[in-house]
C-alpha cells in the first residue's frame, strides 16, 4: 500500500460513460428486434415484394398506389373515427372513475381491482366472450335489452353498428388505464386548495371543476396521448370479433395491414402501409404532446 494510491473521487461524471456498458446488451437486442425491423420495413416498402419470386425496386410505387386505393383510404377514415371515439369515451369515464376511486370508502381497493381487470385480461379471451354476448338471437345483451322493452340490436352484425360496438368494447377494456394514470395525478395533488374550498362552502362539482380538473389536466393529457396511440394500434379485439367485417365495414388500418401482408402476402405494399401508419402515429402523438407541453407551461 503506497500512500499515493488513493482512488480518484467517484463523482458521477467520471462514470457517466461507463454506465453505457450496462445498457449495451439490451441495446444490441433492441437493435436486432426493434431497429432492424424499422429499417428493413422501409427497404421493403420501395420494392415489389411478394413472398416468393424476385423483388424488384419500384421506388415510391407502393406509396403512390395508396393514394388511389379506396380500401386503404376508407381504412384510414375508419381508424380515425374509431380512434377519436375510443379516446373521448374512456377519457370521460376514466376521469369520473379516478375521482371516485381517489375518495375514501369501504371496499375501495377491491372495487378498483375489479375495475382494472378488463385491461389485464387476455384480449382474445374477452373478445370471445363479447362475441357470444353479441349473438343476435341467443346473446345475453339482446335479452337484457328486451327486459327493458328495447328491440334487439344488431351489434357487430350490421355495417352501421359495428364500429360503435367495437368502440364500446375498447372503452370497456381501456378506461381502467386512463383511470390509473389520472388517479396517479390526483393522488399527487396538494390538499390545501380543497380544505380552503370546503371552508368556503364549495360543492363537490365546483371543487372538481375548479380544482381537480385544472390541476390534474397534465395527467389527463398524458392519458389521452397514450389512449390515442393504443386505439390507433387496436388489433386483437377487432380481429377476433369481426375480422374487419361485415364486408370491410370495421377494417381499420391495422387489420388491412395484416390482411395485405399475411393473407395476400403483398409484403412490399404492406410495408409501405406500415411506414405511413407509423408516420401517422408519430405525427398525431407529437401534435398532442405539443399541446400537452403548452398546457403544462400555462
Partner 1 sequence: MRRGRLGKIASQAGLYVSALILVTPALSFFLWMLSLAFKNEADNTDYPPVFIPNPPTLANFIDVFEKNDFLAYTINSVIVSFSATGLALLLGVPAGYGIAKAKATKAAVLILIARVTPGLSYLIPLFLLFQWLGLIGTLTPLIITHLVITVPIVVWIMIGFFEGLPGELEEAALVDGANIWQAFRYVAMPLARPGITVAMILAFIFSWNNFIFGVVLAGRSTRTLPVAVYNVLTFEQISWGPLAAAALVVTAPVLLLTLLMQKEIVAGLTAGGVKGG
Show contacts with partner 1 in window 221-260 (CB under 8 A). Answer: 222-223, 226, 229-230, 232-233, 235-236, 239-240, 254, 257-258
Task: Please identify, among the stretches 38-46, 59-67, 75-83, 148-156, the one whose residues bind partner 1 according to the rule CB under 8 A.
Answer: 38-46
Span near partner 1 by CB under 8 A; candidates 75-83, 154-162, 208-216, 271-279: 271-279
In whole angstroms, give the CA distance from residue 132 to residue 134: 5
CA nearest neighbour of 171 among 273, 97, 261, 78: 97
Whole-angstrom CA distances from 140 to 22, 92, 130, 150, 278 are 54, 27, 10, 13, 39
**Interacting residues of 9 by C-beta distance below 8 A, sequence separation 6+:** none
- 181 in Cβ contact with 216 (< 8 Å): no
Considering the complex, what minimum distance in angstroms separates the CB of residue 22 from partner 1? Answer: 3
Phi, psi values for residue 214, rounded to 5°: -65, -40
How many residues make contact with partner 1 (CB under 8 A)? 93
Least distance in angstroms from the C-beta of 143 to partner 1: 5
Which C-beta is closer to partner 1: that of 72 or that of 258?
Answer: 258
The interface region with partner 1, picked from 37-45, 73-81, 82-90, 210-218 by CB under 8 A, is 37-45
Q: Decide if residue 267 touches partner 1 (CB under 8 A).
A: yes
Report if residue 25 touches partner 1, rule: CB under 8 A.
yes
Rounded (10°) angle between helices 213-233 and 70-102: 140
Nearer to partner 1, 160 or 182 (CB): 182
**Of residues 134-193, which lie at the interface with partner 1 (CB under 8 A)?**
137-138, 140, 143, 172, 177, 180-181, 183-184
217 contributes a contact to partner 1 by CB under 8 A: no
- From 65, 66, 131, 193, residue interacting with partner 1 (rule: CB under 8 A): 131
Torsions phi, psi of 50, nearest 5? -95, 170
Residue closer to partner 1 (CB basis): 129 or 213: 129
Give 12 or 151: the residue with its C-beta nearer to partner 1.
12
Is 106 or 160 the residue whose CB approaches partner 1 more closely? 106
Cell 362539482 found at: 205
Interface with partner 1 in residues 68-97 (CB under 8 A): 93, 96-97
- From 33-41, 67-75, 159-167, 189-197, give the range in contact with partner 1 by CB under 8 A: 33-41
* Set of cell numbers at residue 162: 359495428
Measure the CA–CA gap between 94 and 115, rounded to whole angstroms.
11
Our finding on whether 65 is near partner 1 (CB under 8 A) is: no
**In the chain, which residue ranges form alpha helices assigned H by DSSP?**
12-16, 20-30, 36-45, 61-68, 70-102, 108-120, 123-133, 140-147, 162-187, 192-199, 204-207, 213-233, 236-241, 253-258, 267-297
Q: Which is nearer to partner 1, 9 or 190 (CB)?
A: 9
Amino acid at each position: 500500500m503506497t500512500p499515493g494510491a488513493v482512488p480518484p473521487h467517484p463523482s458521477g461524471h467520471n462514470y457517466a460513460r461507463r454506465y453505457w456498458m450496462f445498457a449495451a446488451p439490451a441495446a444490441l437486442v433492441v437493435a436486432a428486434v426493434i431497429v432492424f425491423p424499422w429499417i428493413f420495413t422501409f427497404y421493403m416498402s420501395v420494392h415489389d415484394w411478394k413472398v416468393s419470386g424476385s423483388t424488384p425496386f419500384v421506388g415510391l410505387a407502393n406509396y403512390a398506389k395508396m393514394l388511389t386505393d379506396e380500401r386503404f383510404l376508407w381504412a384510414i377514415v375508419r381508424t380515425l373515427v374509431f380512434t377519436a371515439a375510443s379516446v373521448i369515451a374512456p377519457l370521460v369515464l376514466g376521469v369520473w372513475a379516478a375521482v371516485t376511486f381517489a375518495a375514501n370508502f369501504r371496499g375501495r381497493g377491491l372495487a378498483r381491482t375489479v375495475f382494472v381487470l378488463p385491461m389485464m385480461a387476455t384480449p382474445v379471451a374477452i373478445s370471445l366472450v363479447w362475441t357470444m354476448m353479441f349473438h343476435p338471437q341467443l346473446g345475453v345483451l339482446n335479452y337484457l335489452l328486451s327486459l327493458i322493452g328495447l328491440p334487439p340490436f344488431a351489434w357487430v352484425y350490421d355495417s352501421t353498428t359495428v364500429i360503435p360496438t367495437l368502440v364500446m368494447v375498447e372503452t370497456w377494456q381501456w378506461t381502467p388505464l386512463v383511470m390509473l394514470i389520472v388517479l396517479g395525478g390526483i393522488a399527487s395533488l396538494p390538499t390545501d386548495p380543497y380544505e380552503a374550498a370546503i371552508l368556503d362552502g364549495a360543492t363537490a362539482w365546483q371543487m372538481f371543476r375548479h380544482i381537480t380538473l385544472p390541476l390534474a389536466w397534465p395527467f389527463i393529457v398524458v392519458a389521452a396521448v397514450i389512449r390515442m396511440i393504443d386505439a390507433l394500434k387496436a388489433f386483437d379485439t377487432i380481429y377476433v370479433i369481426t375480422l374487419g367485417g361485415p364486408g370491410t365495414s370495421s377494417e381499420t388500418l391495422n387489420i388491412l395491414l395484416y390482411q395485405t401482408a399475411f393473407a395476400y402476402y403483398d409484403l412490399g405494399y404492406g410495408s409501405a402501409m406500415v411506414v405511413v401508419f407509423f408516420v401517422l402515429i408519430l405525427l398525431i402523438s407529437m401534435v398532442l404532446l405539443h399541446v400537452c407541453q403548452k398546457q403544462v407551461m400555462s
